[in-house]
Structure 1
Amino acid sequence: MTTSMFTSMQHNFSCDTCSAHWARGASNGAPQRTDAAARSADAAATGGSRFGDVWQATAEKPYTELPRHHVTLRSFFKGLTFALGRDARAILNDQRDVRPPYQKLIRANGIGLRGEWHITEDTPYTGYLRRGSRGLVIARASVGLTATTRGAYRAFGMAIKLFPTIDPDDRAAYRTANLFVIDDNAGTLTPHYLDAEMASKARLSFHSGTLRTLHLLGAITIAQRLADSFSTERQLYPASELGEPPTATIRTPRFLMVRGSAGQPRVSAVDFRDELRVARYPGSLLRFDLAVRETETESWTRIGEMTFVEDACSAGCDHRLHFPHPLWR
């Protein structure tokens, strides 16, 4: 992978829904290349990304009004090309933390969150799943497909990008660990995002909402299976390997669950992105519990938390922030 793959745009990008626009060449910041994504790209080409650069790219072009990016069967195609299949391969093969602007095809509506990961309990696991582990995180809370508002079937999820540093001004470049949790791919009527039990293996419920979106879910399943035969579950080894030497024996839990902390007040909002505005919570802190288990039948065991201190509802979050998915092992 060459630096030019990170820093040069091959075409203009405009989003008809949120009106965000990037001109060709804008991401390389020529001639001085001061753009955050370009700096992050240079770091990635040599082995990682800088936390501050990734967050700056995430927060760029903040929305003044919440857009609603529509996910349709037509949006899965670009001309005669099955764009969704290409996108499914990209999330496995593209290791960048920030990409030139693109359209997310499944989870198009989201909000970025910046904070810290902290494992507070004894565990048998390694890396950043070991007790005492702390690192910065950039997460993207999202919904699958189009529904963003309370009263509709919403498929809540979160992608987590974990940095092995606790200094937000750290100028070192790091390889990130990326984790993924979803509550139910068909959506639920859960009124609060914080009450959704989002796990590394998603559920699939059958209800009236499932029937209305069955054609979309079918296309997604085909695209993901073509790219990765184990698409229904995302492994956690990126976190248990983070910070460990190559010769270390790695111990990883089977499942991870993320849910709003029990003591965290719930905020009533029509759109889940308004619910997750950090300033709406006491002390401007938004907390989520981290829990693990080894089988699908046992109870969850809480091992730590994520505490978010800033949000970004922006075109940068929806069109540039990227989370590489781990290959199945």
Structure 2
Amino acid sequence: MGLTACALCLVLGFGSTAATEGYLGSRFADVREALAEGRYAALPHFVVDAEQFGPPGDGPENRLREAARRTLESRTDLIEFPAGRKLLQPNGICFTGQWRITEPSPYTGLLATGAHALAVARASVSLSETTRGHRRAFSLAVKLFPTRDPSERVPTANLLTMVSILGSRAKHFLNVALDNEPPLGGWPGLGDLLLGLRIRADLKAAEAAVTGGRTDIDYRPLTPLASAGLPAGPGPVAPRWLRLRVAAETPRVDADDFRDELRLNGYPGGVLAWEIEVADGTPGAKATAEWRQLGELLLTEDFLSVGCDARLHFAHPRLEESGRDPVCTRERFAPAKEKNSER
């Protein structure tokens, strides 16, 4: 199966779980322990088959639509995925590390100046292609724990980023920038296009059912990050866009499979640093947005495991998260320098 289902639009992992009632959060230490379960002796290659989605339509047999609703409704951080894997992005590598906002910021929550969080991340590709020479829809999902204490139970905030809906032929995962509103990235063949249209229809229907009709399946708001830790009162202040990319001087590891490329033992000090950049603007204006660096995401431990592929769940931010959309600041900053052209 080709890359079209990357028309999955930031749908980074569906699972089987009821909508979360009374979600109290998770302990970073517990999630890390889950990631360490079932470490692989050799990399698996999970193939995505359209039959796994079930028939299209409104019925319960449409597993894709039902799973999409659960992902939007459930904030659970660890679940058991059907068949022991994720539906659309089964091949991944997980990390733990830290999120730090180091620059002056007009935003709130985990985007405010001085914000710090423990982090769990999962890099993946949509569908089956994991090796160079194919279009790979790279994505990086980040789960933030707003605490410095790994044993403290806290509600998490999730960030979903992707390179493009239809993927990239970049030789390295690190050659691309990933953000929360990825472009289409090109057109697939007819067969893949039809599959992609079906997937988009299911995801749009699922989001409309959860949000009361509002849909934008290509965009994931930053409200959860800006809301983290906020007391009652004024709403969150967030940028429209956030992107992650590594510094240009970061070495590249030549490996066919992106999971081998991202093993941390290939980078200085066993640390992979991602720069956090943000931009404000109106919908549709990302191409002319002015970006600025806000902080860094430091990944310090990696996991190739059953726990990573079969248990870690990322709640998908909704357009009306907490019943309100974030206020986007009007403050302007100097744009970040362009780098990391695809090679």
**TM-score, structure 2 as length reference:** 0.79
SS in 2 for 1:213: helix
Aligned residues: 283
Match of 1:258 in 2: 244
What amino acid is aligned across from residue 77 of structure 1 in structure 2? G
Q: 1:299 aligns with which of 290, 295, 307?
A: 290
1:280 corresponding residue in structure 2 = 266
| Equivalent in the alignment of 1:181 | 161
Q: Secondary structure of the equivalent of 2:144?
A: strand
The answer to whether the aligner puts 1:59 opposite 2:36 as a matched pair is yes
- Contact 2:23 2:155 (C-alpha < 8 Å) held by counterparts: no
Counterpart in 2 of 1:3?
none
What residue in structure 1 maps to residue 178 of structure 2? 198
Residue in structure 1 matched with residue 330 of structure 2 by the alignment: none
TM-score, with structure 1 as normaliser: 0.82
Give how far 1:213 is off: 2.7
What's the CA shift for 1:131? 1.5
Question: CA–CA distance in 2 between the matches of 1:56 and 1:197?
Answer: 29
Cα pair distance change 1:75/1:215, threshold 3 Å: farther
Structure 2 residue ranges without an equivalent (≥5): 1-20, 208-214, 321-343
| 8 Å CA contact 1:100, 1:320 repeated in 2 | yes
Of 72, 76, 88, 2:53 maps to 76
Q: Distance in 1 between matches of 2:96 and 2:138?
A: 18
Q: 3-state DSSP class of the match of 2:171?
A: coil
Secondary structure of 1:132's partner? coil
Q: Which moved more, 1:70-79 or 1:231-240?
A: 70-79
Q: Secondary structure at the match of 1:86?
A: helix
C-alpha displacement of 1:80: 7.9
Residue of structure 2 in register with 1:238 after alignment:
224
Specify whether residues 225 and 99 from structure 1 end up closer, same or farther in structure 2 by C-alpha distance, changes over 3 A only.
same
Runs (4 or more) in structure 1 with deviation over 4 Å come to: 209-212
Tell me the equivalent position of 1:47.
Answer: 24
Cα separation, partners in 2 of 1:251 and 1:186, compared to 1, 3 Å: same
Which residue does the alignment assign to 1:216? 195
CA distance in 2, matches of 1:161, 1:80: 29
Q: Distance in 2 between matches of 1:260 and 1:211?
A: 35
Summarize deviations over 1:27-52 as a string: whole Å, max 9, x none: xxxxxxxxxxxxxxxxx966110001
Matching residue's letter, 1:172: E
Paired residue for 1:310? 301
Q: CA offsets, 1:40-90, max 9 Å, x none? A: xxxx96611000101111221111111111112112128981111111111
Q: Which moved more, 1:62-71 or 1:141-150?
A: 62-71
Q: What residue in structure 1 maps to residue 136 of structure 2?
A: 154
Q: Deviations over 1:147-177 (max 9, x none)?
A: 100110000011110001123xx32210000
Deviation, 1:250, is 1.7
Distance change in 2, residues 1:51/1:80 (3 Å): closer
Structure 1 equivalent of residue 109 of structure 2: 127
Distance 1:144 1:107 in 2: 5
Q: How does 1:77-96 map to 2 (within 5 A)?
A: 77=54, 81-96=61-76
Highest relative contact order (Cα 8 Å, sep 6+), 1 or 2? 2
Q: 1:56 to 1:91 in 2, by over 3 A?
A: same
Letter matched to residue 288 of structure 1: W
Give the counterpart letter for 1:92 in structure 2. L
- Cα distance, 1:300–1:64 mapped onto 2, change above 3 Å: same
Q: The residue matched to 2:26 in structure 1 has which SS?
A: coil
Q: Which whole-Å deviations, capped at 9, do the CAs of 1:176-234 have from their partners, x for residues lacking one?
A: 00110111111110111112111100111224x55563233222211110111221100
Q: Does residue 327 in structure 1 map to residue 302 in structure 2? A: no
CA pair 210-54 structure 1, distance change in 2 beyond 3 A:
farther
Specify the code of the residue in structure 2 equivalent to 1:129: L
Displacement of 1:247 after TM fit? 1.5
Give the AA of the match of 2:158: N
2-structure distance, mates of 1:146, 1:238: 30
TM-fit CA distance, 1:263: 2.9
Contact between 1:72 and 1:216, CA under 8 Å: does it hold in 2?
no
- Indicate the residue corresponding to 2:93 in structure 1: 111
What is the CA–CA distance in structure 1 between the aligned matches of 2:256 and 2:108, rounded to whole Å? 40
Does the 8 A contact of 1:73 with 1:215 survive in 2? no
1:180 corresponds to which letter in structure 2?
Answer: L
